[in-house]
Amino acid sequence: MTDTTAAATTTSGAIAAGLATITTEGAVLDTWYPAPRLDEAPGSAGTERLSPEQAAELLGEHAAGAVGPDPARGVEVVAVRTVISGLAENPLDAHDVYLRLHLLSHRLVRPHGLSLEGIFGLLANVAWTSAGPVPVDRVEQARLAVRAAGGHLAVTSVDKFPRMTDYVTPPGVRIGDADRVRLGAHLATGTTVMHEGFVNFNAGTLGVSMVEGRISAGVVVGDGSDIGGGASIMGTLSGGGKEVVSIGERCLLGAQAGIGISLGDDCVVEAGLYVTAGTRVTLPDGSVVKARELSGAHNLLFRRNSTTGAVEALQRTGAWGGLNAALHQHN
């Protein structure tokens, strides 16, 4: 796993061997790729099943014990090798999508560095359980089978994406609640995601950050920025939003604040203030602009004037204090 996040050239592809969970009807529930890699000339796209010898060679001697049918869950685990010929091309199937999500979480590709077009149609909805992925219509059968063996089936989520840490556990990060980070999140070294924080797929941090709020799909947060408790960064997957928001370096999004425009570097949003693209913002000279006109500007403080109620953007002076180094340097 590299830590430099080679900005993926969109011409490159990827190759990985992995273990896939497949239902008796042939639906792919997941594929885990322990060591994916980028490749400039990977060959033709697609996924092939591996022979036991190939699986041992590419995944290690323990692969043999990890494959085979699991009647309790109604699935079979198979060893596969997946090739993506070009990351700019759209994903072909669920194996391909899983490899792309792994590339992001392994920090081999930054958010927006590959196509994720159509992924919701390619991914199965899965019950993510303590016994592994289970088809949603087989949960009760799996629960009984696990109980019959003296166990207890925990279902942590029912979703198209598993939590990242069950597939990729990047070094140099802290995550208070693993359920809050989906596979496909990109967490740079020095990032801490506290329990209230959330990081979606194709989104995340590019440097040291404190994340106590929500980083929506497509959003990237620059080095040195702090996303305060319960803060919201608007996404574009639902609700009509069109602008993919980014947060620059050394920004502070205050607790319970929200932002629907991009922030440049060294910006602060007051705790509790939600700045949407259409918010009318008063500037120091008294003029009023829509917040979208300030999108990406550096060094601004957004606040709601507590005597007039007007949202104001002020040129920032001084520092908000920055991140507490002690919370990040030992990640």
Ligand X SMILES: O=C(O)C1=N[C@H](C(=O)O)CCC1
Ligand Y SMILES: CC(C)(COP(=O)(O)OP(=O)(O)OC[C@H]1O[C@@H](n2cnc3c(N)ncnc32)[C@H](O)[C@@H]1OP(=O)(O)O)[C@@H](O)C(=O)NCCC(=O)NCCSC(=O)CCC(=O)O
74 binds, among Mg ion, ligand Y, ligand X, none (CB under 5 to 8 A by kind): none
State which of residues 27, 255, 283, 327 lies at the interface with ligand Y (CB under 6 A).
Answer: 255
**Residue 262 and residue 242: Cα distance in Å, rounded?**
12
Interaction of residue 266 with ligand Y, rule CB under 6 A: no
Q: How far apart are CA 68 and CA 79, in angstroms?
A: 9
Q: Is 212 a known active-site residue?
A: yes
Q: Rounded to the nearest whole angstrom, what is the least distance from the CB of residue 170 to ligand X in the complex?
A: 17
SS3 content of the chain, % helix, strand, coil (to 5): 15, 30, 55
Please work out the total of residues on this chain that contact ligand Y, with binding judged by CB under 6 A.
Answer: 15
The DSSP annotation for 41-101 comes to: S--S-EEEEPPHHHHHHHH-TTHHHH-EEETTTTEEEEEEEEEES-TTSPP-SHHHHHHHH
Mapped onto helix, strand or coil, the DSSP state of residue 164 is helix
The two three-digit tokens of residue 146, written as one number: 């696990």
Instruction: Specify the length of the chain in residues.
Output: 331
Q: Does 300 bind ligand Y (CB under 6 A)?
A: no
DSSP of 259-277: ESS-B-SS-EE-TT-EE-T
Of residues 123 and 269, the one with the C-beta less far from ligand X: 269
The one catalytic residue among 212, 243, 249, 293: 212
**Interaction of residue 176 with ligand Y, rule CB under 6 A:** no
Least Å distance, CB 317 to ligand Y, is 9
Q: Which stretch binds ligand Y (CB under 6 A): 167-175, 242-250, 291-299, 302-310?
A: 302-310
Q: Is 232 annotated as a binding residue?
A: yes
| Tokens encoding 69 | 């049918």
**Min dist. Cβ of residue 327 to ligand X (A):** 4
Among 11, 305, 315, 324, binds ligand Y (CB under 6 A): 305
Task: Tell me which residues touch Mg ion (CB under 5 A).
Answer: 179
Active-site residue numbers? Answer: 212
Task: Tell me which residues touch ligand Y (CB under 6 A).
Answer: 196, 212, 228-230, 252, 254-255, 268, 270-271, 303-306
